[in-house]
Structure 1
């Protein structure tokens, strides 16, 4: 019985292998006859030309396509071409275009497409969606946070509005309309998108299309001709008494604000028993970034020589933590420490060691991570925790609000008031350009302004007393 079944299956397989080529050959012949019937006989490796229409078949209720009996009539239906081209990656892509009024127009369009280079063909066939995602996949030397911002701009703003267009179809008018639409929508807080958001999205799009220009996919970047509202860079404002009074009355506060030395001293005194007291002190007086302080290890701290080295940072992309080199080459720097800061770090180190001994005595695990600022179990904090913790501590003190980044602004202002020149402050903060230090971070505190005003007035008054 088993032998009979095996012989039967073998015979069926032999018959199928015999008639399969005939079946495929018959299909090819039928397709050739169909093309000849509709006037298209270019069924070669360069593609084919055929005619279709949009008539609905009464029996199947579907489009007749190339089966319509009226295709032989003049003016009925339109002409199409289908061919294969190679894109920028060397991959074969099947292209089909239609809507041509004559067979000659379809053939001419096909020939023009086949004569194009791979780069030109990519610009004609690739959509903006495909290019943006391809460009993003090639960005291997950017930081994870930057890639996360690019991904958000592409998926959230660009693809829903211009993703269906091909690269060669994209122009400045379409982009202007897309950015106008973005400005009329709201963010997750229900507020209109800011100029800063528009500028970020525009920067992402311009970078992606610049890459397309360099690859020869498009001739020019249409994003460079889009005009957006000017972005005003906010300057740090000091929490003077009138501003504090206005904030208590209305709840409104500046985008970037720094404490006076008295307010900073009040905050540090109020949080002197907090486990992260050394963290707040270090950011407020030495101007470290959040990621730099979060990634600081004891191996980078030299308390004997009163200095620390910024060699890495712990940042976030969404909620995911990424640890790597600092923001830029100039961010890798040596930061000098005063004796009081050295004493605070030694005290913090002893406190951390006591946590280690206490957990060992109670049989609880302790992670020797080597970070300066850790949880009681030795593991490093999530960088977002510092932002939330600072907000909670400020609410408890009743002081006017500042952000974690504002402590860095305040450190620059304090250094400027103490007499440090811009070059010293630039080295302290790790800026690549001294203009950034001068324009953004050094907002002179009121006491220094008053001293300067007194000196100017005294200069004029002394000159007026001379004979």
Structure 2
């Protein structure tokens, strides 16, 4: 008598596979979960083979140490959580403000409804490609929210009137949006919410560095001459001769410059924040904390500026209006200078001096450009400007290096041209015939 055929069983750890009442097949098994725990998962398929393949894939990933995805919420919910509970503790306040604007204006409207666990690289790439071609004035209704014009009384002027202004995002802005998304998803990977950062698999290309317009040597001399009688003459001279940033200049306190030693310690910056208004903050990076040498002319200017500030202090003290902050550059009443106010005064100075309009930050670029043209080594400029890596300095001022290379090539060309002219002269027979020297 033939024994009945035994039902095929699966080994321990392989899970179970069975057919549901609705005809679909279901497979279940235990896999690795966040926190080094085990969790039972269920997968489905139209056939036994399909359900078993899905379960086998999850078990194989679990055996490699990859936990299963636990995030079930939307990307918008996670980005809000990341900004309020993670990024706020690791970013400067101004940087956090910029990240919040990117999340609210671009990421949540574009990808916020996607499930965090189901977000793919294709979703990110498709969204970024569409973002390149969409007019942001039309998409965000910027023109429709404009304040009424005082003269005409009409509020809209382009997209709200059906005349698209084609306000597209620049490649640098797209790269910044992409980097914010990568940072958020990277933290989700660290918290084992998702197995991988899909935004890292999307290539946006390397954007061209922002162009700037440094002053030439003649324009720099003209600028210093025009600023000689300005109230902030010392500030403008220090900006052009040392390359300090606007916030670093406004954040200087009198204990920072050592006028006897001719040096200055840079360790803080003045910025406007949403929570504290004008605030003195630490520099953005460790490399920005530096000690620089002060030119002799700047030391003289700082001494004169300190005497002038003391006179203003005595004058204002009679009316009890002086506000002692200890900063080098202040308003006549001692209060801190608003960065936007300094920018307006700088632009007015350029107009009065009949100089072409540039940004205040271009004074910093002018310093580096003029130093490079004088043959100063790149590593010295990197330390003076406070760049984190010398590659940043080399990339930003690549156009200057190319111009210096052109000058070097022209010098070599002239030298070779003279050598050719000499070699083309007829031989009079007095010199011995040149012969090749043996090479060892």
TM-score, length basis structure 1: 0.66
For structure 2, list consecutive stretches of 5 or more residues without a partner in the other structure.
1-21, 23-32, 36-61, 144-164, 424-440
- Judge conservation of contact 2:117–2:194 (CA < 8 Å) in 1: yes
SS at match of 1:353: helix
- Hey, what does 1:167 align to over in structure 2? 116
Structure 1 residue 224 and structure 2 residue 174: aligned? no
Alignment: residue pair count: 341
Greater helix fraction, Structure 1 or Structure 2: 1
- Hey, what does 2:81 align to over in structure 1? 134
- Judge conservation of contact 1:409–1:442 (CA < 8 Å) in 2: no
Structure 1 residue 291 and structure 2 residue 247: aligned? yes
- Judge conservation of contact 2:248–2:269 (CA < 8 Å) in 1: yes
Q: Deviations over 1:220-242 (max 9, x none)?
A: 222123333541113xxxxxxxx
> What is the CA distance between 1:465 and its match in structure 2?
4.5
| C-alpha distance in 1 between matches for 2:222 and 2:259 | 26
- Hey, what does 1:385 align to over in structure 2? 341
> What is the CA distance between 1:317 and its match in structure 2?
4.5
| C-alpha distance in 2 between matches for 1:88 and 1:316 | 41
- Hey, what does 1:272 align to over in structure 2? 228
> What is the CA distance between 1:325 and its match in structure 2?
1.4
| C-alpha distance in 2 between matches for 1:388 and 1:316 | 16
- Judge conservation of contact 1:412–1:442 (CA < 8 Å) in 2: no
- Judge conservation of contact 1:335–1:428 (CA < 8 Å) in 2: yes
| C-alpha distance in 1 between matches for 2:314 and 2:97 | 40
Judged with a 3 Å threshold, the aligned counterparts in structure 2 of structure 1 residues 434 and 447 are, in CA distance, closer, same or farther, namely closer
Judged with a 3 Å threshold, the aligned counterparts in structure 2 of structure 1 residues 443 and 227 are, in CA distance, closer, same or farther, namely closer
Judged with a 3 Å threshold, the aligned counterparts in structure 2 of structure 1 residues 374 and 232 are, in CA distance, closer, same or farther, namely same
- Hey, what does 2:182 align to over in structure 1? 206
Judged with a 3 Å threshold, the aligned counterparts in structure 2 of structure 1 residues 374 and 170 are, in CA distance, closer, same or farther, namely same
* Corresponding residue to 1:146 among 95, 114, 119: 95
| C-alpha distance in 1 between matches for 2:393 and 2:177 | 25
Structure 1 residue 156 and structure 2 residue 69: aligned? no
| C-alpha distance in 2 between matches for 1:258 and 1:126 | 49
- Hey, what does 1:245 align to over in structure 2? none
* Corresponding residue to 2:135 among 185, 197, 201: 185
| C-alpha distance in 1 between matches for 2:321 and 2:181 | 49
- Judge conservation of contact 2:241–2:295 (CA < 8 Å) in 1: no
- Judge conservation of contact 1:416–1:442 (CA < 8 Å) in 2: no
Judged with a 3 Å threshold, the aligned counterparts in structure 2 of structure 1 residues 449 and 364 are, in CA distance, closer, same or farther, namely farther
| C-alpha distance in 1 between matches for 2:322 and 2:398 | 42
> What is the CA distance between 1:311 and its match in structure 2?
1.1
Judged with a 3 Å threshold, the aligned counterparts in structure 2 of structure 1 residues 212 and 452 are, in CA distance, closer, same or farther, namely same
SS at match of 2:272: strand
- Judge conservation of contact 1:260–1:445 (CA < 8 Å) in 2: no
Structure 1 residue 282 and structure 2 residue 238: aligned? yes
TM-score, length basis structure 2: 0.70
| C-alpha distance in 2 between matches for 1:348 and 1:133 | 48
For structure 1, list consecutive stretches of 5 or more residues without a partner in the other structure.
1-74, 76-86, 90-115, 235-254
| C-alpha distance in 2 between matches for 1:204 and 1:262 | 42
- Hey, what does 2:393 align to over in structure 1? 437
Q: CA RMSD in A?
A: 3.4
* Corresponding residue to 1:311 among 259, 267, 277: 267
SS at match of 2:118: coil
* Corresponding residue to 2:285 among 303, 309, 328: 328
- Hey, what does 1:215 align to over in structure 2? 191
| C-alpha distance in 1 between matches for 2:187 and 2:376 | 42
Q: Deviations over 1:125-158 (max 9, x none)?
A: 2211111121122121221121111111111111
| C-alpha distance in 2 between matches for 1:421 and 1:127 | 51
| C-alpha distance in 2 between matches for 1:229 and 1:316 | 33
